[in-house]
Amino acid sequence: MLLLTLSSWIFQELLSEDIPPVTVKAHMSQLSSDGSKPMVVFAEVRQRGVPVILADVMATLENSDSKIQYKVQLLDNGAGADAFRHDSIYSSYFTNLTTGKYSLKVKVQNDDGTARFSPRRHSGALYIPGYVVDGQVVMNPSKPPVSEDDLQADVGSFTRTAIGESFSVFHLVSPLQMSPLTKSQT
């Protein structure tokens, strides 16, 4: 899957100069679509480069032609469009495709104090459970579990809004025009 990353605007107000700001980057998986591939909304939430997890993340996608707004909750649970749980990259599929140009705005909140960041930095490398040597499977040590106790550092109360790039949907492909191979890929 090809991911395009472009800059976004972030609006924030510091409560204290002693507390580093929470930053948000918002983007789409594609800048244009004909509806043949699913579109994914992404938001990355960090504080001083450390992943912020358990935040409330809501994307608003507005069609500039019809002025209709679509609200999509973005999740960091490792299911659906989200590849990895608790990596601070929140995502969701955007399925309400109609022809037009769209704007993207993402609002991230932690009003109830549930958001946390892990004091441990993760390498980003995938865990490989084993490997093969001379036809024999050699197992790696078990992946250390991440417990709720590891997520102790409180991020504090915050609200952030990020404006992502605009994108276009054009000439939607109807299910009748799609080949069986294309249908099975979506």
Of the chain, the percentage scoring pLDDT greater than 90 comes to: 38
When pLDDT is averaged across residues 79-92 and rounded to a whole number, the result is 91
* Cα–Cα distance measured from residue 63 to residue 99, given in angstroms and rounded to the nearest whole number: 8
End-to-end Cα spacing for the chain = 12
Contact yes or no for 103/55 (Cβ under 8 A): no
Q: Is residue 71 part of a domain?
A: yes
Say yes or no to pLDDT of 178 above 80: no
Question: What is the overall mean pLDDT for the chain?
Answer: 80
Q: Is residue 128 part of a domain?
A: no
Strand-pair category, 39-47 with 22-28: antiparallel
When pLDDT is averaged across residues 119-133 and rounded to a whole number, the result is 70
pLDDT tens digits along 140-163? 887 666 665 555 567 888 999 999
Q: Is residue 139 part of a domain?
A: no
Residue 55: give its domain's CATH number. Answer: 2.60.40.10
Q: Is residue 80 part of a domain?
A: yes
| Helices of type H across the chain | 180-185
Binning pLDDT at 50, 70 and 90, where does residue 84 land? confident
Tell me the Ramachandran region of residue 80: left when phi exceeds 0, alpha when psi lies from -120 to 50, beta otherwise: left
How distant, in Å, are the alpha carbons of 81, 99, 180, 184 from that of 65? 27, 9, 32, 31
The contacts of residue 4 (CB under 8 Å, 6+ apart) are 27, 28, 29, 30, 31
Contact yes or no for 12/160 (Cβ under 8 A): yes
pLDDT tens digits along 54-77? 999 999 999 998 889 999 999 999
How many helices (H) and strands (E) would you count in the chain? 1, 14
Q: Is residue 2 part of a domain?
A: no
Q: Is residue 162 part of a domain?
A: yes
* Cα–Cα distance measured from residue 57 to residue 162, given in angstroms and rounded to the nearest whole number: 11
Q: Is residue 165 part of a domain?
A: yes
Contact yes or no for 89/82 (Cβ under 8 A): yes
Binning pLDDT at 50, 70 and 90, where does residue 1 land? very low
* pLDDT for res 171: 75
When pLDDT is averaged across residues 104-119 and rounded to a whole number, the result is 86
Range of the domain at 156: 9-120+149-185
Angle (CA) 80-73-164 rounded to 5° is 100
* pLDDT for res 17: 63
Binning pLDDT at 50, 70 and 90, where does residue 170 land? confident
Q: Is residue 138 part of a domain?
A: no
Domains: count for the chain: 1
